[in-house]
Chains A and B, each alone.
Chain A
Amino acid sequence: MAVLTRKKKPTSVFEKLSDETWRRKFLRNVIIPWIFISPLLIIHIFVVAIPAVQGVYMSLTDWTGIGMNVNFVGLDNYHRLFFEDETFGKSLGNNVIWMAFFLTVPFILALFCAAMLAQVKRGGMLYRSILFIPYVLASVVTTTIWKNLLNPRQGIGAALDNMLGLEDVFGVAFLGRPESALISIAFIDNWHFWGFLMILFLAAMQSIPPVLYDAAKIDGANRWQEFRHVTLPGIRPVMLFMYMMVAIWSFLAFDYIFLLTQGGPAGASEVIATQLYKNAFFRFQAGYGAAQGVVISIFAGFIIMIFVTLRRRGWDI
């Protein structure tokens, strides 16, 4: 409202610039804030925005990744991905299996554990901390531990066989066999991940007003009904959000697979990201790898769109 009380309101750019107070205000409210913002913004633009745009262009070329020979090939790479490259379909299928695993196993485990933990008063903090430990470990360490534990001759399986007097029932190379490789990696990744999900659910459960539980009690609800009608609706926003995040992450999965099997044996645990990595960095198919990156991003964007649409329709996330 200061503007109204001022006698002469500078209008043209020239007048504004010659007005001392306006200049000072402009400096304080526009220039300096943008100077504060710009370093991080510039770094981000150079690291993410520009390469992302380049990635789209690169996916339309046959560039090998070295040298100057770049030919524009249109959608050839995408055609090859979806219609010629059989390994891509297999990898995509593995991503879907991965997603099915991670949308069920860690969620059930975390939900169950958080419900158990929410009722515990004494020692609750201790459980919480210990169960969270695997989440803070580096993937290189986690995978090393489990590679040893799943070793067919010296791991848990062999010990179990020994104990039960069996031979080669549990002591098999879970990571080395095509039928069990992917699911074993998912199991290991989940060992690391589920505690994190549990903590999120627990925090959400603890923020449910206790009055609601008392009301349920008075209405004669049993524990299952309490869980079903008070706890679950209370943590639904967090659950749905994590459903979205986990669904997205399923298409980005890389570390554990690359570290444990590199996609093997014979492509049994290959996912899009490991394939992309090999194409771009080992096989001199940068253009083709970039196209796979774009496809992954489209899948991720698609999942976000589904959730945004559901949210718009009143499905509160």
Chain B
Amino acid sequence: MTAIGKVSIRDTVLQRGRGKERSRLLVFNHTVLLLLTAFAVIPLLVLAFNSVKTNLEIGQNPLGPPRNIVPDNFPDAWEKGNFATTMGNSIIYVVATIAAELVLGGLAAYALARKRPPGSDLLMLYFLVASTIPLWMYIVPLFVQINTLKRLGVDARFLLIMVYVAGSAPLTIFLLRSYMIDLPTELEDAARVDGANEFQVLTRIVLPLTKPGFLTVGLVVGLGVWNEFLLALTFIHDPNQFPVTTSFYKFVDRFDRDWSLTSAGAIIIIFPVMVLFLALQRQFIEGLAEGGIKT
């Protein structure tokens, strides 16, 4: 009893000391964090400011808050940057890639996690090795292949989506497979005993329970495709098929001096991502962290 009493007294003393120390030092912590937050946010704030200024005002006041707000830049940029088309294209790229990745990746991961057909280990090794091959090793031959297929009449957009799907295939398989392995098999067995077939086991038991894994993959892949620049620049040459990134690149090139226009365009591109990010902060941050560690 006395020993316990001693420990608890020591604990409270320690805690009180720690509490004091903490509150004193946290001032320093918050100062540092606020400075770093400013570093992250101020460039974006300047962008937002400039997107509602006239060019004349940007000339006199390039960094500060706007004196009069001019919302005209947005419809102007939307028009001149051809955002109606390129936003639509980007949405097609993102949605189609996510859909294909989740369906095909989900099927493959399920087979690898649960059925383990002969050759599974070899296949995992293949994806492990393949995930370390840099894009630069195969971009030139891939460019040739894609051009050949394009000449044969295959839609370039379809080909770009296939490239995106392949690029994130290793990550998808590793992530979804690990989610499925963590799932106890008893649930599936119980469903089978109740007379469910394999397809029903997958759609009624496995999918609902591994939803977080699919959400993670969907977010990581979707964000990657929305922001992707290099592959789209290399493989898409018809301006009507440009995603927002490559189209915006050419747009900035053309209106180099027109900061209000390009700033408004930049806001248009990041707006959907920001909305989604603010709505799904935790999933985004944890998903990207997980994706980053597992690639």
Interface residues of A (CB under 8 A from B): 28-30, 32-34, 36-37, 39-41, 43-44, 46-52, 54-55, 58, 65, 109, 112-113, 116-117, 119-120, 123, 125, 127-141, 144-146, 148-149, 151, 154-156, 158-159, 191, 195-196, 199-200, 203, 217-218, 223, 238, 241, 245, 248, 251-252, 254-255, 258-259, 272-273, 276, 280-281, 286, 289-290, 292-294, 296-297, 300-301, 304
Contact = CB atoms under 8 A, between A and B. Distances in A.
Contacts, number: 265
A149 B46 contact: yes
Given A113-B36, A133-B41, A138-B229, A48 B130 contact: yes
Interface string B100-112: 0000110110111
B285 interface: yes
B270 A141 contact: yes
A109 B32 CA distance: 11
A119 B22 contact: yes
A132 B44 CA distance: 13
A158 to B, nearest CB: 8
B285 A128 contact: yes
- A-B pairs, top 5 by smallest CB distance, nearest first, are A47-B166, A51-B138, A54-B141, A33-B111, A138-B227
B145 A51 contact: yes
B287 to A, nearest CB: 11
B262 A144 contact: yes
B181 interface: no
Q: Is the interface of A mostly helix, strand, loop or mixed?
A: helix
B132 A304 contact: yes
A49 B138 CA distance: 8
A149 B43 CA distance: 8
Contact of B138 (A112, A251, A293, A301): A293
A199 B22 CA distance: 22
B117 A119 contact: no
Interface stretch (B23-31, B65-73, B182-190, B203-211): B23-31
Interface residues of B, number: 95
B140 A119 contact: no
B175 interface: no
Which among A109, A129, A133, A286 has the greatest number of chain B C-beta atoms within 10 A?
A133
Contacts of B9: none
B29 to A, nearest CB: 5
Interface string B32-68: 1100110111011011001000000011001100000
Contact of A159 (B43, B63, B119): B63
Contacts of A238: 293
A39 B234 CA distance: 25
Contact of B44 (A112, A123, A145): A145
Contact of B141 (A41, A203, A290): A290
Contacts of B30: 120, 123
A37 B227 contact: no
B89 to A, nearest CB: 14
26 contacts: A40-B107, A43-B162, A44-B170, A48-B130, A55-B137, A117-B33, A119-B26, A131-B37, A132-B284, A133-B41, A134-B44, A138-B273, A140-B269, A141-B266, A148-B46, A148-B50, A154-B58, A155-B63, A191-B39, A196-B288, A203-B286, A276-B136, A286-B144, A293-B136, A293-B139, A301-B132
B62 A154 contact: yes
A134 B36 CA distance: 12
Nearest to A300: B134
A127 B107 contact: no
Contacts of A128: 285
B142 interface: yes
B163 A47 contact: yes
Interface in B242-295: 244-246, 248-249, 252, 259, 262-263, 266, 269-270, 273-274, 277-278, 281, 284-286, 288-289, 292-293, 295
B198 interface: yes
A129 B95 CA distance: 25
B140 A203 contact: no
Contact of B143 (A200, A217, A280): A280
B248 A140 contact: yes
A140 B33 contact: no
A36 B108 contact: yes
Given A44-B169, A144-B262, A52 B138 contact: yes
B277 A133 contact: yes
B43 A280 contact: no
Contacts of A32: 111, 115, 198
A130 B40 CA distance: 7
B29 A51 contact: no
B70 to A, nearest CB: 17
B147 to A, nearest CB: 9
Interface string B213-228: 0000000000100110
A43 B244 CA distance: 25
Contacts of A52: 133, 137-138, 141
B5 interface: no
A280 B229 contact: no
Contacts of B270: 137-138, 141
